């Protein structure tokens, strides 16, 4: 199987030994994004709302670099530091996705990279 590595400067560079996304087998697998500003590589300020918007903006940038968009998402996984943020994230997600929505899993995580409040990964089928 041929793999194509996806990269864009419009999203934060990987902070570990992984790619922003990999296209293989007709799907694009987007690595988890936290609310890092790609220009500064720092976590955005402003709480869960700002972090969630930055996360989905980063994912959209990676999807665009793959020649696709979040409209092609078939599966989204959301990791929250605090499940009390669930409703807030739902509202922000609706700013980036429209019906029919992708399948989704939401998990509360004890800790996320760099102290983030949210991390999201995604699978696209363009």
CATH code, domain with 79 = 3.30.1330.40
Return per-residue pLDDT of the chain as tens, 126 residues: 799 999 999 999 998 999 999 999 999 999 999 999 999 999 999 999 999 999 999 999 999 999 999 999 999 999 999 999 999 999 999 999 999 999 999 999 999 999 999 999 999 999
Site of tokens 């996984």: 77
Residues 6+ apart with CB under 8 A from 20: 6, 7, 8, 11, 13, 14, 30, 31, 62, 65
Residues 6+ apart with CB under 8 A from 118: 34, 35, 48, 51, 52, 55, 78, 79, 80, 81, 85, 89, 112
Domain with 73 in it? 3-124
Site of tokens 């994230």: 89
User: Which pair of tokens denotes residue 93?
Assistant: 């997600």
Nearest in space to 119 (alpha carbons), one of 48, 23, 62 = 48
Cis peptide, bond prior to residue 41, ω within 30 of zero:
no
The structural domain count of the chain equals 1
């Amino acid at each position: 199987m041929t793999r194509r590595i996806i990269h864009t400067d419009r999203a934060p560079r990987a902070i570990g030994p992984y790619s922003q996304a990999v296209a293989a087998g007709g799907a694009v697998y987007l690595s988890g994004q936290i609310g890092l500003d790609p220009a500064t590589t720092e976590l955005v300020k402003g709480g869960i709302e700002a972090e969630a918007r930055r996360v989905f903006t980063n994912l959209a940038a990676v999807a665009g670099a793959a020649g696709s968009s979040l409209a092609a998402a078939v599966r989204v996984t959301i990791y929250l530091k605090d499940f009390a943020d669930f409703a807030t994230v739902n509202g922000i997600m609706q700013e980036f996705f429209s019906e029919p929505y992708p399948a989704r899993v939401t998990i509360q995580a004890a800790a996320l990279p760099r102290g983030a409040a949210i991390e999201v990964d995604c699978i696209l089928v363009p």
